[in-house]
Amino acid sequence: MIIPPIFGAIQSVRDGLEKRYIASYLALTVVGMGSWCFHMTLKYEMQLLDELPMIYSCCIFVYCMFECFKMKNSVNYHLLFTLVLFSLIVTTVYLKELSKEGATYYRCYHTVSCMVAYFNWPWFLSSHPFQFIYKNTLPEIQAKSEVSLWNLASDPV
């Protein structure tokens, strides 16, 4: 997860893509290096190098998704400010957290990663060819799955 994003960033520069794509690839590189450092040492300091860049990179991905259909070379400063503020708050809370269990990190990371997954669905984009499936079929499958899981959980063993 370190070398391929570097090639992606180089190719983005060659193709003249916007800086947000280069930032996405470089963020993936930083996440890869942080993961590598943490899993080599298993130290708390290296865990910070692993987990905090994951939040920052997810914020970059959220920015990229919301900027998909914008005018070229324009910047959404309101969204950028919100995501930077979120990242700073998460970093501050995470560093001040007394227990090193990471519950705060997991809540914050899953919030941002769910935003990435939720807003990446085709029904969010009105022109997606599979919009019908996401609007009609998936909610039905989800409801049936929830009922099945509820029945499994409440069934006495």
The reply to whether 39 sits in an annotated binding site is yes
Give the three-class secondary structure for 78. helix
Give me the long-range contacts of 49-52 (CB less than 8 A, separation at least 24): 51/94, 51/102, 51/105, 51/109, 52/90, 52/91, 52/94
Work out the burial of residue 25: count CB atoms within 10 Å of its CB; fewer than 13 is exposed, 13-18 middle, 19 or more buried.
buried
Q: How far is CA 95 from the centre of its chain?
A: 20
Binding site, by residue number, is: 39
Binding residues for Zn(2+): 39
